[in-house]
Chains A and B, each alone.
Chain A
Amino acid sequence: MAEKTAVRGRPQSVPELLARNVAQFGSKPAYREKEFGIWQSWTWREAADEIESIALGFLALGAAEGDHIAIIGRNRPALYWSMVAAMKIGAVPVPLYQDASAEEMAYVVDHSGARFTICGDQEQVDKVIEVQETVKCVEHIIYQDPRGLRKYDHTTLHALSDIQGEGRAARVRLMPELERREGKLEYDDTCVMLYTSGTTGKPKGVVLSNRNVIETAKNSSEFDHLRPSEDILAYLPMAWVGDFIFSIGQAYWTGFCTNCPESADTMMTDLREIGPTYYFAPPRVFETQLTNVMIRMEDAGKFKKRLFDKYMAHAKKVGPAILDGKPVSMGDRIKYWIGDKLIYGPLKNTLGFSRVRVGYTAGEAIGPEIFEFYRSLGINLKQLYGQTEATVFITAQPDGEVRADTVGVPSPGVEIKIAENGEIFYRSPGTFVEYYKNPESTADTKDAEGWVATGDAGFFEEETGHLRIIDRAKDVGQMADGSLFAPKYVENKLKFYPDILEAVVFGNGRNRCTAFINIDLTAVGNWAERNNIAYGSYQELAQHPRVLNTIQEHVETVNKSLANDEMLSGCQIHRFLILHKELDADDGEMTRTRKVRRKIIEEKFHDLITALYDGSDEIYTETEVTYEDGRKGKIKATLQIRDAAVIEDTAHTRVAAE
């Protein structure tokens, strides 16, 4: 292995990177996981040994080159090892979303033709067994956590530790085969297959090669000067390309340590204990944390509250400038230093951000206030823009050039062009190989020269060269009067209010815009408690007149800011309602990465949309919901519909008149 690397100049596959890391950082921690209340750790050498035994175990079970191995479970070292072990034997790891229902899982398992599935626990095993009723490709199920599985029929069911044991026992016999397969891995061989979350239609299997993963990991690690001493917390779904690039791509390229939380519920505690230096979260996580901080400050004593407000105001004023290395007066710096000792430092510590050197948010637009809040504390939070097909990175913000409304400059090695209709195209070493078993879609997305359509519309700012995203290109439409309709842009503006969890704006081809709103139960519930508003359920709270009033104010403020924008003033919201249920991936209304599925919502709630446009004041509706365990139920509610004030500005009337 080492000789081959030497001949070719640099590692050609993830398993080769592993071998290099063992040679270079052998006794440095590669993985940590909190279990039994203690952080257990594995060095690169120990991890490589575990990976080898899993790979040998796969061989003992008869895994062939080119097989697909599905991996389903929460972030745990053993599951990451299984992925690399799959690569070692020339198979393709396919991580799947662990919260997917059996039905959703059936499609991807069938599509990938996985012969093996690795499950984290009984819950996932049960789902795969259910999937097996309709999908015949799965031959072996391997599980990590044996709990509750003792009584199951073990003819084709294996404990991961057992197959590792079998692999170790057969080491002498199987090692030549493993070495042969590993030695054959080429730069352009498939490294991993990741399914897109499927905002529209069925998920597509994005095939990424070793080249895609390694080049991207190398470029992005250099861009942010990542070092072997970094610590990351792996808590985002393993099926998501970002987690793959951070926890495997970059971790193997730079040799840093991947830490896995004890359980989903302990994430915040584990975050604080590890204190990652490189951190990634979707805007929602930052929003939730900020909401929690604000709620707790509301309950704090008067003195503390005043101190907090005073210094946070100062941080807002000078914090981002200090972070960007811009000139700040000595007095302000001293005051910021005091604030850091009294407020910012302890707050960062509580949030687990004391050691963060580089933080990223992506996936959705982040509210400017939220973004500024973290930056003002001195946390180097940046934005990036990417997608699965690009192996994440398309653009990213360099240190010192961070703004809330752009997504940065093209990442190293990425070329970008903007089509006439505003759609963004890119070409990069990370550009995916193909959609698995779907040449038509591949051809639609990637042209002969390697340019990939992102489906997003945007433009480069002339002064700074930063990219700004307007909306999903296919969501951008026209109102009946011909003015621009950009729902996502408006929804994001609404979602920046902590009270509003989700918003869906309608208006394509119509003469006015309307909206569905989801309230945030944590924020609104806390507000209700402080104002002595009694409520029995989510529905009741959502329809409370005072909640409606607050949301109406938010909508009207958004309308005001839209009125100032010449292009988008037509998107002001005329009428809105607050939904009686939270939009949920289990009901198919959102993707597993929590992106709104417009089509499905439009179909499912067509009665509500009709009511928004026919002028009625309220509407009675029944909606089918799916509970976590797959059972279905119905909720009934009468929803109020409110009119919001809009500002008829001159720009808009002019457009309309033309």
Chain B
Amino acid sequence: MNQMATDSTITEDGRTIGGVMMEMRNITLRFGGVVAIKDISFDIREGEIRAIIGPNGAGKSSMLNVISGFYHPQEGEVWYHGARRKAMKPYQVARQGIARTFQNIALFDGMSVLDNIMTGRINHMSSSFLDQAIWWGKAQREEVEHRRKAEEIIDFLEIQAIRKTPVGRLPYGLKKRVELARALVAEPKLLLLDEPMAGMNVEEKEDMSRFILDVNDEFGTTIALIEHDMGVVMDLSDRVVVMDYGKKIGDGSPDEVRQNQEVIDAYLGVAHD
């Protein structure tokens, strides 16, 4: 109990934020001569909404790709649930309970919303390929279970009306929501959102913010997100990491970050000598 008390804090709005879930230690990522990420360390705690912000080209997406196992940093360590993570393939990372959405929507355009969401269950399917092909025995039982989960998420994100619509016919805002649905249906412990609100109008942004908060609240999912809209970031997140030119220039609560001179300079721009 004492241990818990030191580890976890309760936010103003009554959510419990637990101990460290993921820790990035001195990560450096290079592409040839280009240093995308330079010696960055930060952590993500259980149950929090953690934002990564920074100007274009700051290395935010690269950082998310490191977390999701798509890039392997040349230096540094990734610690997950108190253990050092070996270099992994993205699907292995996904099996550890990390799901993500993409900056440029990566859905199957020709498939229906429901089918797209069902693909998110892939890591929970254990019936054999043959069973699935002839839809027999375990595959049948499993499908019912997966469909139930998919429908719960459809209900949660209020996309019942487009369940059977091919994704290619949907407007942008809804596609983003479908992508979120596909990530959620994997029942992730850590959800990575790469610019979930890019290209949305105010109303769509408000809807999406609501959903992100609800996901965190309802499923207790830890969320790491990249976002450009400062207003959204400040409203949503518990803690913010600020990056600029591959370096970390700030880390803390939205209020602390907002007052950080380096951050203000990075965003408003200063003359470079």
Binding site for B on A (CB under 8 A): 35-38, 147-148, 150-151, 262-263, 265-266, 269
Contacts and interface: CB of A to CB of B under 8 A. Distances in A.
Closest 9 CB pairs of A and B: A265-B161, A36-B151, A151-B14, A37-B151, A266-B161, A262-B160, A266-B160, A263-B160, A148-B214
9 contacts: A37-B154, A148-B217, A150-B218, A151-B13, A262-B160, A263-B158, A263-B160, A265-B160, A265-B161
Contacts of A35: 155
A194 B163 CA distance: 36
Interface string B174-200: 000000000000000000000000000
Given A151-B13, A151-B14, A151-B15, A37 B217 contact: no
Contacts of B109: none
Nearest to A150: B217
B148 interface: yes
A62 B73 CA distance: 63
A37 B163 contact: yes
A530 to B, nearest CB: 20
Q: Among A35, A36, A147, A148, which residue has the most Cβ atoms of chain B within 10 A?
A: A36
B91 interface: no
A266 B152 CA distance: 16
Contacts of A266: 160-161
Contacts of B136: none
Contacts of A151: 13-15, 217
B217 A36 contact: no
B42 interface: no
Contacts of A262: 160
B135 interface: no
Nearest to A37: B151
Nearest to A148: B214
Contacts of B151: 36-38
Given A148-B210, A265-B160, 19 more contacts: A35-B155, A36-B148, A36-B154, A37-B114, A37-B151, A37-B163, A38-B151, A147-B156, A147-B218, A148-B214, A148-B217, A148-B218, A150-B218, A151-B14, A151-B217, A263-B160, A263-B161, A265-B161, A266-B161
B1 to A, nearest CB: 23
A36 B218 contact: no
A269 B161 CA distance: 8
Nearest to B114: A37
Taking residues whose C-beta sits less than 8 angstroms from the other chain, chain B's interface range is 10 to 19
A175 B154 CA distance: 39
Contacts of A36: 148, 151-152, 154-155
Contacts of B156: 147
Nearest to B149: A36
What DSSP secondary structure best describes chain A's contact surface?
Answer: loop
Contacts, number: 35
What DSSP secondary structure best describes chain B's contact surface?
Answer: helix
A205 to B, nearest CB: 33
Contacts of A150: 217-218
Interface in B6-65: 13-15
A126 to B, nearest CB: 12
B205 to A, nearest CB: 13
Nearest to A628: B203
A538 B214 CA distance: 34
Contacts of B161: 263, 265-266, 269
Interface string B139-162: 000000001100110111010110
B218 A37 contact: no
Given A265-B160, A266-B160, A269-B161, A147 B148 contact: no
A266 B13 CA distance: 34
A628 to B, nearest CB: 9
A36 B156 CA distance: 10
A151 B147 CA distance: 29
Contacts of A148: 210, 214, 217-218
A149 to B, nearest CB: 9
Contacts of B218: 147-148, 150
A188 B154 CA distance: 46
Contacts of A265: 160-161
Q: Among A37, A150, A269, which residue has the most Cβ atoms of chain B within 10 A?
A: A37
Contacts of A38: 151
Interface string B105-136: 00000000010000000000000000000000
A603 to B, nearest CB: 30
A266 B163 CA distance: 10
A35 B151 CA distance: 8
A265 B163 CA distance: 11
A262 B160 CA distance: 8
B13 to A, nearest CB: 6
Contacts of B210: 148
Nearest to A146: B218
B123 to A, nearest CB: 22
B20 to A, nearest CB: 24
A265 B218 CA distance: 24
Nearest to B213: A148
Nearest to A263: B160
A144 to B, nearest CB: 13
A37 B154 CA distance: 9
A263 B148 CA distance: 18
A263 to B, nearest CB: 5
B18 to A, nearest CB: 17
Contacts of B152: 36
Nearest to B13: A151
Interface string B234-266: 000000000000000000000000000000000
A266 B15 CA distance: 34
Contacts of B154: 36-37
Nearest to B147: A37
A37 B160 contact: yes
Contacts of A37: 114, 147, 151, 154, 160, 163
Interface string B205-236: 00000100010011000000000000000000
Q: Among B13, B148, B151, B160, which residue has the most Cβ atoms of chain A within 10 A?
A: B160
Nearest to A35: B155
A149 B103 CA distance: 30
B214 A147 contact: yes
A56 to B, nearest CB: 28
B170 to A, nearest CB: 13
A386 to B, nearest CB: 32
Contacts of B148: 36
A262 B158 CA distance: 10
Contacts of B13: 151
A262 to B, nearest CB: 5
A150 B217 CA distance: 8
B217 to A, nearest CB: 6
A262 B159 CA distance: 11
B149 to A, nearest CB: 10
A150 B14 CA distance: 9
A333 to B, nearest CB: 38
A269 B160 CA distance: 10
A35 B160 CA distance: 9
A151 B14 CA distance: 6
Contacts of B217: 148, 150-151
B10 to A, nearest CB: 11
B32 to A, nearest CB: 47
A78 to B, nearest CB: 15
A37 B115 CA distance: 13
Nearest to A268: B161
Nearest to B164: A269
A150 B214 CA distance: 10
B98 to A, nearest CB: 24
A492 to B, nearest CB: 32
A616 to B, nearest CB: 36
A147 B230 CA distance: 27
Nearest to A627: B203
A269 B162 CA distance: 10
Contacts of B15: 151
